[in-house]
């Protein structure tokens, strides 16, 4: 079986990206505000990583703008988590480099650990209530409004609002532990 992306997917993605690029960049910028200032990925690079990730997909089944933004939210989360894991791995010696004592005392902040803690909490929430976890992901990582999330999930805006409030409370408790 061929694992190469098919031409129709690539062409569809190439048509769609210019239409949503600026919105994706704004979402990435908003998401990157939660990251450290010297993060290796900047918003434009994060959007480019999403594009490359989608280009590598064998089959990319897009059902409109909101669905594409939801898919991008998931991809952004995966990319940020992968970056955090790589950063922590390097910090533990996986990328050993000689540093001076001054450099060693400037340890990286907790952002990488925070991203991983949020990812773990979301994974646990997904086991308990997959839809709540999806609502958090679409809102937090994708920047979708409650109306857009309701449309994407085929539920009412009121339902999304209630699930969002419950998920926020659950995540606060989970992350406080």
Q: Are 143 and 73 in contact (CB under 8 A)?
A: yes
Q: Are 32 and 43 in contact (CB under 8 A)?
A: yes
Token look-up 């994060």 returns: 46
Distance between CA atoms of 94 and 140, rounded to whole angstroms? 30
Altogether, the residues listed in the chain come to a count of 177
Instruction: Show the tokens assigned to 52.
Output: 């490359």
Tell me the per-residue pLDDT of 58-91, one tens digit each, with 9 for 90 and over: 777 877 778 888 888 888 888 888 888 887 776 6
Question: What residue spans define the domains of the chain?
Answer: 7-176
Give the N- to C-terminal CA distance of the chain in Å, as an integer. Answer: 46
SS3 111: helix
Task: Give the residue from 117, 77, 111, 121 showing the smallest Cα distance to 91.
Answer: 111
Task: Give CA angle at 35 (33, 37), nearest 5°.
Answer: 85
Residue 101's pLDDT band, with cuts at 50, 70 and 90, is very low
Question: How much is the pLDDT for 129?
Answer: 95
Distance between CA atoms of 60 and 82, rounded to whole angstroms? 21
Q: Note the pTM of the prediction, 2 decimals.
A: 0.61
Token look-up 């996986």 returns: 94
Question: How much is the pLDDT for 162?
Answer: 96
């Amino acid at each position: 079986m061929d694992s190469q992306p098919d031409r129709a997917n690539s062409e569809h993605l190439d048509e769609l990206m210019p239409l949503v690029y600026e919105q994706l960049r704004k979402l990435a910028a908003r998401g990157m505000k939660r990251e450290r200032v010297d993060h290796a990925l900047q918003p434009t690079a994060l959007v480019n990583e999403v594009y490359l990730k989608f280009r590598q997909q064998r089959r990319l089944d897009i059902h409109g703008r909101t669905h594409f933004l939801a898919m991008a939210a998931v991809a952004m989360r995966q990319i940020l988590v992968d970056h955090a894991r790589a950063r922590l791995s390097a910090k533990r010696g996986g990328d050993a480099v000689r540093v001076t004592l001054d450099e060693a005392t400037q340890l990286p902040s907790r952002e990488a650990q925070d991203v991983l803690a949020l990812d773990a909490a979301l994974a646990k929430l997904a086991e308990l209530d997959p839809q709540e976890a999806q609502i958090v992901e679409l809102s937090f990582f994708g920047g979708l409004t409650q109306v857009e999330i309701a449309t994407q999930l085929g539920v009412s805006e009121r339902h999304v609002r209630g699930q969002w409030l419950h998920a926020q409370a659950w995540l606060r408790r989970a992350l406080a532990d």
